[in-house]
Structure 1
C-alpha cells in the first residue's frame, strides 16, 4: 500500500532548515521557555544558529569518534536543544537517554547497559547535581562531562557556557558538508519494557525525510509555520523527533513546556497555554484529560487555546470518546467550529509517523494511510494483519546488534512493527486502516482460547466512560478475564460530589462512583459472546501509568506486559478467592 503522491525533495540534514530560517527571518523567535523563577528565555533563529555553530565548533575540535555517540542525560530545556542542534550540525551522533534511568533507578542497570553499548566519549547533563550520582556509577574514568549548572568536581565537568566562546565557521561548514544521508544522527532507545532498551539508529536521511513526509501530509504547517507548546520528552520519538522537528522544519516556534500531564504537575502547561496560542497541539489522552478542567474553568484560556488551532493530534491507539466529545463541544462553543482531531500509527523505528489520517475521522481512532514515500505491507500473522513498513523514514537497524536487526525485517525488507491493523472497509484499502492491537499482547486464557486485547480494551473503556482513561485486560492462563482500569480522576470527582480536598481514594470509593463502575462491569459481562470476551472482575488503580515506569510505551500507549509485570499485587487481588479488597465482581 502506497500513496500516488511522491515524496518531495528534502534537505540533507535537519539543521539546513535552521540555516535557512536564520537567513530568511533572523528575528523570529524559534525557542522559548518559562524558567522556574518566572522569567522567560527566548531565542530567535539567528540567536540559535550563532550558538549552534559555536557548539558545533567545540564538538569538532574534540575529534569525537563516530562509533561512540555522545550520551545526553537531561530533560527538555533551551541548553539541551542547543546541544542537540550543535551535534546534528557537526555530524556528531548523540543519544538522549530517559532521565528515569538516572533519577529513579537505584541500581542503574538500564543506564549501565546503555553506556556499555555506546561507550560515550562525552556526556551532556544539564544539572550536575541531579545526574552526578548516576554518572559516577556508570561512566568510564576520565570521560568529559558537560554541565549547564551545578558543575561536578568528581568527575570534573566542563561548563556549558565555555562551548559558546568561539566559532570556526570554516571548520563547521566542512564538517556539515561531509554529512551523508547514511551518517548517524542519533541513537534513540526503545522503552525497554520487555528487556534491555534497544538502540535504534537514526541516520540524517531518516530525520529529514520524515519531516517532509509530515509537511506534505499536513501542508498547513508549511503554509502557516507551526506554533507549538510541547512537554513530550526528547528521548522519545514523538516529542524529540516529531514535535521538535516539526517546529524547526516549518520555520515555526516552540515553547518548551516543563509541565507534565498530572494534576500535580500540569501548572506550567496551563500557564504556557495562557501565553501561547498554538496552531497545532499534540498530547496524550492523559494530557488532554488533565487540561480539560482548566479549559472549563477559564474561558480566556479556552479562547486562547482554540483561537489559532488547526489540528489536535493525540499519541496512542485511541482517544476515549468522552474526551473527544468534550474537545469538540468546547471548540464549537468557543470559536464556532470543530477542530480536526486525528492520529496515526508509528514507532521509534519509523521516526515516528509512517502512517496518519489527515482527514476528519469522526471520532474514530484511525491509523490512516501511508505518508508520502512509505510503503505499507499488511501481512497475515496469528489470524491478524501485521503492520509492516518500508521507506526512507525507517531505521536501518539497531546499534551494534546485527542479529536483532536481521530479525526485525521480513524477507522483502519490510520492518515488522508487531502492531496489527485492519481495513476500515475490506476491499477498499484507499479508505485506510484501523489499529487492531499489539500482536504480542494477545494471550490465551486457561481454556486455550485467544483473547484479542485491543477490541476488548476498547469495549471496556467505552462501557466505563467517562470514569476511565485506559484499561489493561488480565490475564494469561487464568480461568476468566479481569481488567485493571486507570481512572479519569476529574470525571470521578465530578460524579462523587465530595469536598475539593477529598483524596483520590475517597473519590474512588464514593457511592456514586462505585455504582457507575459496577454498572459498567455488569454491562461488559452481559454483552460478552464467550469466555474470551467476558470480563468478570475489575480493579481501579489511582497510580497512573508513566513513561518512567515503562508502563507507557514510546508510542504513548499502555504496555500490557509492563503493567501486568509491575502490578503483581493487583493481579493477586483480582484472582484471589475471595477477591481482594476493592475488587469489583460482575453480577450475574
Structure 2
C-alpha cells in the first residue's frame, strides 16, 4: 500500500543501567523553538494576513477571523486587560467551551503574560458539578471570568465564589453587571502594550490547566510558554508535512483539555494553519452537526477519539461525496483517549486507498497535561492500532521494568511542567530524585530487542491490584479486553477483585443497544436483572474463559448497573473517563452483591 512519505523515521538511543532501569532518547536534535506564542501570531499575520486562522459557525456559514484580524483584536483585548491592572498574578477563568472569542481572549492574555484557566463547561452547566467549578475558582483565584452567554451560564455566575470578579460575556442577555466582550475589543491606548509583551518569556505561565481528577481532587498544572512552544517544535519535527503545507482542522476536542486546547490549537497557530471549530460532538443528537460542518469544510488533519471515528466511518460509508472530500487533502488520522479498534483502522485505510490511492499517516501518541502534552509519538507508518511510539526529540524516558518487562514510565524534557499551581508538596512528590516526572503510567515494548518499533500503553500503575492469592491483575488492559468482549452492550465498566478471590466486572450498559437487542431489563436497587441479558453475558464470559489461562485475566462474575456514572458525584470526569475508585466506593453495596452468588442480579461462571 502506498503511504504518506513525509514522516520522521525512528532513531532511538537506549541506555541500560546496572539496576535494570532503561533510558530512551531520540538521536535527533530538537529543532528551533520560539520563545512565546505571540511570535507565531505576529509572524503569520505578516506572512499571510488574509488566511483564516480561526472560525466558528454563524448562521448558514462561518464567522472567520484572519491572522491579521486576530492579531489586531488580540492586541486590543490585551491592552484592555492591562488597563484593568491585570498581570501574571491575576488569572482569567474561562467557564464555557470552544469559540472564537474564547480563543481571542486566551491569546490576548498570553500576549501580555496573564494566565488563563479554562475549565470544563459541564462544571458550569450541570448543577451537581458546581462543586468542581467552585474548587477551580478557589484554587485559581481569578480576577476575571468569561462565558459565551450570561443567561445560559447564569446559575454558575451566581456562585458566591465569583463575588467581586468581573464577568465578561459575548452575549450578556438579561444579566446585570456583566461586561460585554465588545468592551474589551475597544482596547486602551493608555497602556504600554509593547513593554508588557516584551516581558513575556519562556518561563511565563500561559495557562493553568486542571487535571481530570480521576484519582484525586483536580490539580492546576502550570503550563508555560516554553512548554507549549517546544511541544510544537517536537510535533513538527516528527510530522514534517506540518511545515511544508498549512494544516487545517475541523475539530471539536475541548480546549480545557491539553490535547484540544494546546496540542491542536497551537498546531494551527505554529504552522500558519486554520482552525474550524466543530460545534458537534461524537454523541447521538450532536454528530449530525459534525457531518454538516464537514460537508462545508474538511481538514488536512483529523483528530478524534475512537468512538468518534466509529461514527464517522459509518457516515463516510453512506456518503460518497463526503468520503471524497474527507480524504482528498488528508495527511493525518490521529486517535487518542483509547486504542482504535482494528476494524475501524482498516476501514479508514481501505477508504483512503479507494479515494486517493494512498494512506495518510495513521497514528497516536502519549502524553499528559503535565507534559504539554506530546511526549511519545509513532511517526513511522504502521498497519495496526495501539502503538504510541518512541520519545520525541528533546525528551528522555526513564523506564523501570518489572519481572514481566512491563515498565513504569518517568519523563524528563523541556515540555515538562514546572509544578502544580499553589501545591508545592504535590509538586515535590511528582518528581523523583533525578528530576524525572513520575507519570504513574505503564508501557510495554513492542520488541525488547528493537526499541525503534516503539511501545504500547499498558495502563495506570495505580489501577492494578492483587487477588487474595497474591496474583497481580492489570486492570487497565483487562478493562479494554472486556469492553471488546461485551461490545456493544457496555459503554464502560469497572474491573473489581482487590483483596478478593475472583475478578469481577461492574457494567455500565448502553441502554439504546439493549433495547435494540430486545433485552427487557428491570431495575433492582441499582442493578439490572434480565434472564436473557444475564444469559448473554454468561455465554460471552464462558466463551472467553475457554480461550485464556491464568487467574489474572479470568472474569468470573458480573453485574449490570442501572444508574449511569454521575459527574456531580465524581464518578465521571469532564473528559468522560470513569473515576474507578469513586464508583467502587459510592456503589459498595452493589460491589458486595456482585460477590454474592445467591443474589439474582449476579452473573457468575
Could you tell me the TM-score, scaled by structure 1's length? 0.89
Correspondent of 2:311 among 290, 295, 298: 290
SS of the residue corresponding to residue 153 of structure 2 reads helix
> 1:284-433 residue pairs with structure 2 within 5 A?
284-380=305-401, 384-433=406-455
SS of the residue corresponding to residue 334 of structure 2 reads strand
- For residues 504 and 353 of structure 1, the distance between their equivalents in structure 2, rounded to whole angstroms, comes to 43
- For residues 290 and 539 of structure 2, the distance between their equivalents in structure 1, rounded to whole angstroms, comes to 35
Following superposition, the deviation at residue 540 of structure 1 comes to 5.5
SS of the residue corresponding to residue 115 of structure 1 reads helix
Alpha-carbon contact 2:214-2:577 (below 8 Å) kept: no
Compared with structure 1, are the counterparts of its residues 205 and 221 closer, same or farther at alpha carbon in structure 2 (3 Å cutoff)? Answer: same
Correspondent of 1:121 among 119, 123, 143: 143
Correspondent of 1:522 among 531, 542, 553: 542
2:11 corresponds in structure 1 to: none
Structure 1 range deviating more: 516-525 or 397-406: 516-525
> 1:269-288 residue pairs with structure 2 within 5 A?
269-288=290-309
Structure 1: stretches of 5+ with no match in the other structure = none
Alpha-carbon contact 1:151-1:157 (below 8 Å) kept: no
Compared with structure 1, are the counterparts of its residues 249 and 65 closer, same or farther at alpha carbon in structure 2 (3 Å cutoff)? Answer: closer
Following superposition, the deviation at residue 8 of structure 1 comes to 1.2
Correspondent of 2:206 among 169, 173, 185: 185
Compared with structure 1, are the counterparts of its residues 377 and 551 closer, same or farther at alpha carbon in structure 2 (3 Å cutoff)? Answer: farther
- For residues 425 and 11 of structure 1, the distance between their equivalents in structure 2, rounded to whole angstroms, comes to 36
Following superposition, the deviation at residue 200 of structure 1 comes to 0.3
1:57 corresponds in structure 2 to: 79
**Residue 4, structure 1, aligned to residue 24, structure 2:** no
> 1:533-572 residue pairs with structure 2 within 5 A?
533-539=553-559, 559-565=579-585, 571=591
SS of the residue corresponding to residue 158 of structure 2 reads helix
1:46 corresponds in structure 2 to: 68
Alpha-carbon contact 2:214-2:578 (below 8 Å) kept: no
Following superposition, the deviation at residue 429 of structure 1 comes to 2.3
Structure 1 range deviating more: 379-388 or 251-260: 379-388
Compared with structure 1, are the counterparts of its residues 580 and 324 closer, same or farther at alpha carbon in structure 2 (3 Å cutoff)? Answer: farther
Structure 2: stretches of 5+ with no match in the other structure = 1-23, 523-527
- For residues 107 and 298 of structure 1, the distance between their equivalents in structure 2, rounded to whole angstroms, comes to 39
Alpha-carbon contact 2:341-2:385 (below 8 Å) kept: no
> 1:132-147 residue pairs with structure 2 within 5 A?
132-147=154-169
Alpha-carbon contact 2:56-2:100 (below 8 Å) kept: yes
Higher relative contact order (CA 8 A, sep 6+): 2
Alpha-carbon contact 1:316-1:555 (below 8 Å) kept: no
Compared with structure 1, are the counterparts of its residues 140 and 272 closer, same or farther at alpha carbon in structure 2 (3 Å cutoff)? Answer: closer
SS of the residue corresponding to residue 388 of structure 2 reads strand
Following superposition, the deviation at residue 424 of structure 1 comes to 1.4
Following superposition, the deviation at residue 365 of structure 1 comes to 0.7
- For residues 320 and 534 of structure 1, the distance between their equivalents in structure 2, rounded to whole angstroms, comes to 22
- For residues 352 and 546 of structure 1, the distance between their equivalents in structure 2, rounded to whole angstroms, comes to 27
Compared with structure 1, are the counterparts of its residues 234 and 477 closer, same or farther at alpha carbon in structure 2 (3 Å cutoff)? Answer: same
Structure 1 range deviating more: 202-211 or 326-335: 326-335
2:55 corresponds in structure 1 to: 32
> 1:92-171 residue pairs with structure 2 within 5 A?
92-106=114-128, 108-151=130-173, 153=175, 156-166=177-187, 168=189, 171=192
SS of the residue corresponding to residue 85 of structure 2 reads coil
**Residue 204, structure 1, aligned to residue 246, structure 2:** no
SS of the residue corresponding to residue 533 of structure 1 reads coil
Structure 1 range deviating more: 441-450 or 271-280: 441-450
**Residue 231, structure 1, aligned to residue 252, structure 2:** yes
Could you tell me the TM-score, scaled by structure 2's length? 0.87
State how many pairs are aligned.
Answer: 576
User: 1:183-219: per-residue Cα shift (whole Å, max 9, x none)?
Assistant: 1111000011223210000111111111111111111
User: 1:14-67: per-residue Cα shift (whole Å, max 9, x none)?
Assistant: 1211111111111111111113x4342111111111111111111111121422
> 1:216-227 residue pairs with structure 2 within 5 A?
216-227=237-248
1:451 corresponds in structure 2 to: 473
- For residues 395 and 193 of structure 1, the distance between their equivalents in structure 2, rounded to whole angstroms, comes to 19
Alpha-carbon contact 1:375-1:391 (below 8 Å) kept: yes
- For residues 193 and 564 of structure 1, the distance between their equivalents in structure 2, rounded to whole angstroms, comes to 13
Following superposition, the deviation at residue 308 of structure 1 comes to 1.3
